[in-house]
Amino acid sequence: MSRGKKAVCLGALALCLGGLAWYRRTYRMPLKEYTRRALYMALLDDEICRNELEGNIIGGEEIRFPPKAESLHYRYRLYLSINRGKNRRTLQIETARMERRLEESRQYLNRPQEELTVSVGPLPQ
């Protein structure tokens, strides 16, 4: 083999090994686990919103949520698209944060209606 062919073969081998290393580092979770996490996050988010907002008043209108089946379907699709590029560890952290927030939101259950105000500002990071 000539030097040029050896260089091309070594370059191709290096690309393959680099691609394999990249694939192993960015391993994505199985589809079943990914969809299960999206559904769980949708359930948590729906429950948090219902605990914190349902029954309160904004701008003279009482907040009412659609039936759970309808809102879960929308939230599930939303979390499927939001979590598309995230790895398992990131999703575990976000799920744990949502579980803590659900516990905090339970303090709003069985409270009298409040008049809430809406303000638009920068989103928290």
69: which 2 tokens?
């089946």
| Cα–Cα distance measured from residue 45 to residue 101, given in angstroms and rounded to the nearest whole number | 9
Nearest by Cα to 56 from 8, 118, 124, 122 = 118
% of the chain with per-residue pLDDT over 70: 93
Residue 76 has pLDDT above 90, yes or no: yes
Span 7-24, pLDDT tens digits: 888 899 888 888 887 776
On whether residue 90 sits in a domain, the answer given is yes
On whether residue 7 sits in a domain, the answer given is no
On whether residue 48 sits in a domain, the answer given is yes
HSE on the CB side for 54, CA within 13 Å? 15
On whether residue 36 sits in a domain, the answer given is yes
**How confident is residue 113, by pLDDT bands cut at 50, 70 and 90?**
confident
116: which 2 tokens?
């809430």
On whether residue 44 sits in a domain, the answer given is yes
On whether residue 2 sits in a domain, the answer given is no
On whether residue 98 sits in a domain, the answer given is yes
Residue 124 has pLDDT above 70, yes or no: no
**How confident is residue 77, by pLDDT bands cut at 50, 70 and 90?**
very high
The domain in which residue 57 lies consists of 29-109
Nearest by Cα to 100 from 48, 53, 60 = 48
CA pseudo-torsion sign 104, 106, 110, 112: positive
How many domains, in total, are found in the chain? 1
What 3-state DSSP class applies to 26? coil
| Cα–Cα distance measured from residue 87 to residue 21, given in angstroms and rounded to the nearest whole number | 16
44 C-beta neighbours (distance < 10 Å), count: 20
Mean pLDDT of the chain: 86
The one-letter amino acid code at 84 reads R
Residue 119 has pLDDT above 80, yes or no: no
What 3-state DSSP class applies to 40? helix
User: What per-residue confidence (pLDDT) applies to 96?
Assistant: 97
Query: What average pLDDT does the segment 33-52 reach?
Result: 93
On whether residue 23 sits in a domain, the answer given is no
User: What per-residue confidence (pLDDT) applies to 25?
Assistant: 63
**How confident is residue 125, by pLDDT bands cut at 50, 70 and 90?**
low
